[in-house]
């Protein structure tokens, strides 16, 4: 088909749409702005919409068939074969969506691209396994250690080989790009350019699929843990139901130990607490939060039962009072002046003299 392919009905030409998509890809690939910025993500969304439109146009026009080889595809139509790979690449750059959803889409589109390339015999590429992980990341057993080392060494050599091939393809593409942009270009050179472009994207697709194959089990495992934690955490309504089921057990609250003994004899089935015992119990189970500053000075009963602590409290009080006087504390100076004035007006012994002069 000719370069000016159009979708059914009114719409943009497929060739012009592809150029717009390629501009978005180049922008994302060379962008110096943060990938998560609104500007970059906005242009990315537009690019994804255009790729989806271009794929629908290709499907409507039935440009590609499983029963054909690359030699049967028109030169100007070869580039449209990388549309699934471009869609997977652009989706993988999204940051405003759940990552687990993104990586599954990326895997689907890159796999579709590799299947298309293999069916057209561009390269004999191995399609990765499509079975999904169950979310569990299990370490290899001890007996598989030697095999894993051999596999890792083989993968490393394959990665090095792919890296060198990709560099060579990029060099070749740079050489041919100048000829492709010319209006009258040799058909063989143009075909060589597009075929090399397809092979380069095979390497990109394999690299991206390797990355998401490691990422998917981790993300699924994390989602599984989040769901387990969510199921294990009781909701507010669950807490309310539990409280209602527990009910309220009545008890007797008394002012003194004597009352406790009296009421305890009359109502042996009910627990009986004094005010002090009730307060201590609530502090112990965390119902009442009492800080040291809230406890205040010792009572007379406490000072009598614990003279050492009372003496320590007096020392701390005197030291604090002296410090405030030395630092010219306004409140402390005011209290001292008022006390002096009170002593001047109220001599010692001027209290109740029992009607005696």
The pLDDT, as a whole number, for residue 185 is 72
Examine the pLDDT at 252 and tell me if it is beyond 80: no
pLDDT grade, residue 343 (50/70/90)?
confident
Give the residue with greater pLDDT, 326 vs 79: 79
Counting DSSP H helices and E strands in the chain, the numbers are 13, 2
Residue 64 sits in a domain whose CATH number is 1.25.40.540
Note whether 267 and 195 are same-domain residues: no
Is the sign of the CA dihedral 159, 163, 164, 169 positive or negative? positive
Q: Could you tell me the two tokens for 346?
A: 């109220």
3-state helix, strand, coil in the chain (%, to 5): 70, 0, 30
Q: Is residue 8 part of a domain?
A: no
The residue out of 205, 231, 257 marking a domain boundary is 231
Q: Could you tell me the two tokens for 102?
A: 């993104």
Q: Is residue 165 part of a domain?
A: yes
Note whether 168 and 291 are same-domain residues: no
Note whether 224 and 254 are same-domain residues: no
Q: Is residue 323 part of a domain?
A: no
Rounded to the nearest 10 degrees, the angle between the axes of helix 83-92 and helix 38-61 is 160
Tell me the C-alpha distance between 260 and 275, whole Å: 10
Q: Find the mean pLDDT for residues 6-28.
A: 82
Question: Mean pLDDT over all residues of the chain?
Answer: 78
Kind and range of the H or E run holding 190: helix 187-232
Note whether 32 and 59 are same-domain residues: yes
Q: Range with the lowest mean pLDDT among 82-86, 90-94, 131-135? A: 131-135
Q: Is residue 262 part of a domain?
A: yes
Q: How many other CB atoms are there within 10 angstroms of residue 51's CB atom? A: 26
Nearest to 19 by CA among 40, 8, 41, 4: 4
- Determine the 3-state secondary structure of 12 from DSSP: coil
Tell me the C-alpha distance between 39 and 17, whole Å: 21
The pair phi, psi for residue 130, each rounded to 5°, is -100, 0
Give the residue with greater pLDDT, 281 vs 293: 281
Note whether 195 and 286 are same-domain residues: no
Q: Is residue 345 part of a domain?
A: no
Q: Is residue 164 part of a domain?
A: yes
The pLDDT, as a whole number, for residue 301 is 59
Note whether 64 and 196 are same-domain residues: yes
| Contact between residue 152 and residue 193 where contact means Cβ atoms under 8 Å apart | no
- pLDDT by residue (tens digit) across 102-143? 999 999 999 999 999 999 999 888 887 654 444 444 444 444
The pLDDT, as a whole number, for residue 218 is 92
Rounded to the nearest 10 degrees, the angle between the axes of helix 307-326 and helix 330-345 is 100
Note whether 20 and 98 are same-domain residues: yes
- pLDDT by residue (tens digit) across 142-176? 445 555 666 666 677 777 888 888 888 888 888 88
Can you give the pTM of this predicted structure?
0.58
Radius of gyration of the chain (CA): 42
Number of domains in the chain: 2
Q: Could you tell me the two tokens for 77?
A: 């139509």
Note whether 125 and 194 are same-domain residues: yes
Q: Find the mean pLDDT for residues 259-286.
A: 66
In order of 25, 45, 107, 286, the CA distances from 103 in angstroms are 18, 16, 6, 47
Q: Could you tell me the two tokens for 67?
A: 């029963």
Tell me the C-alpha distance between 151 and 129, whole Å: 17
Report the percent of the chain where pLDDT is more than 70: 68
Q: Could you tell me the two tokens for 175?
A: 């050489």
Tell me the C-alpha distance between 1 and 63, whole Å: 8
Note whether 106 and 168 are same-domain residues: yes
Q: Could you tell me the two tokens for 188?
A: 């063989």
On the CB side of 153, CA atoms within 13 Å amount to 6
pLDDT grade, residue 336 (50/70/90)?
confident
Q: Is residue 136 part of a domain?
A: no
Strand partners, 39: none
Examine the pLDDT at 50 and tell me if it is beyond 90: yes
The pLDDT, as a whole number, for residue 139 is 41
Note whether 121 and 270 are same-domain residues: no
DSSP 203-234: HHHHHHHHHHHHHHHHHHHHHHHHHHHHHHS-
Q: Is residue 180 part of a domain?
A: yes
Note whether 45 and 176 are same-domain residues: yes
Q: Range with the lowest mean pLDDT among 69-83, 206-220, 319-333? A: 319-333
The pair phi, psi for residue 273, each rounded to 5°, is -130, 145
The contacts found for 164-170 with CB under 8 angstroms, 24 or more apart, are 165/203, 166/200, 166/203, 166/204, 169/196, 169/199, 169/200, 169/203, 170/200
Note whether 257 and 224 are same-domain residues: no
Examine the pLDDT at 89 and tell me if it is beyond 80: yes
Domain boundaries, position 281: 248-296
């Amino acid at each position: 088909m000719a370069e000016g392919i159009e979708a059914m009905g009114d719409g943009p030409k497929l060739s012009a749409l592809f150029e717009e998509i390629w501009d978005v890809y180049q922008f994302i690939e060379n962008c110096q702005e943060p990938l998560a910025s609104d500007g970059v993500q906005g242009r990315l969304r537009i690019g994804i919409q255009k790729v989806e439109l271009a794929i629908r146009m290709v499907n409507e026009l039935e440009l590609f068939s499983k029963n054909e080889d690359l030699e049967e595809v028109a030169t100007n139509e070869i580039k449209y074969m990388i549309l699934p790979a471009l869609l997977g690449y652009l989706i993988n750059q999204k940051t405003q969506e759940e990552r687990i959803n993104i990586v599954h889409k990326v895997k689907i589109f890159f796999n579709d691209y590799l299947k298309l390339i293999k069916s057209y015999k561009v390269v004999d590429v191995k399609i990765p396994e499509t079975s999904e992980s169950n979310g569990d990341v299990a370490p290899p057993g001890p007996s598989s250690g030697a095999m894993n080392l051999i596999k890792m060494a083989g993968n490393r050599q394959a990665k090095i080989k792919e890296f060198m091939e990709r560099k060579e393809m990029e060099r070749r593409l740079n050489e041919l790009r100048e000829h492709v942009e010319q209006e009258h270009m040799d058909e063989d050179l143009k075909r060589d350019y597009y075929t090399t472009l397809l092979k380069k994207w095979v390497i990109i697709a394999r690299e991206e699929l390797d990355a998401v194959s490691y990422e998917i089990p981790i993300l699924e495992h994390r989602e599984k843990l989040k769901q387990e934690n969510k199921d294990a955490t009781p909701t507010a309504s669950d807490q309310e139901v539990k409280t209602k089921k527990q009910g309220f057990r009545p008890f007797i609250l008394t002012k003194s130990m004597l009352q406790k003994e009296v009421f305890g004899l009359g109502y042996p089935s009910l627990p009986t607490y004094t005010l002090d015992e009730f307060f201590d119990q609530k502090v112990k189970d965390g119902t009442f939060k009492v800080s040291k500053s809230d406890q205040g000075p010792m009572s007379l009963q406490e000072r009598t039962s614990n003279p050492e602590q009372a003496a320590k409290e007096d020392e701390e009080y005197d030291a604090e009072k002296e410090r405030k006087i030395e630092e010219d504390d306004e409140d402390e100076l005011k209290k001292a002046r008022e006390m002096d004035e009170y002593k001047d007006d109220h001599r010692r012994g001027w209290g109740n003299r029992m009607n005696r002069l």
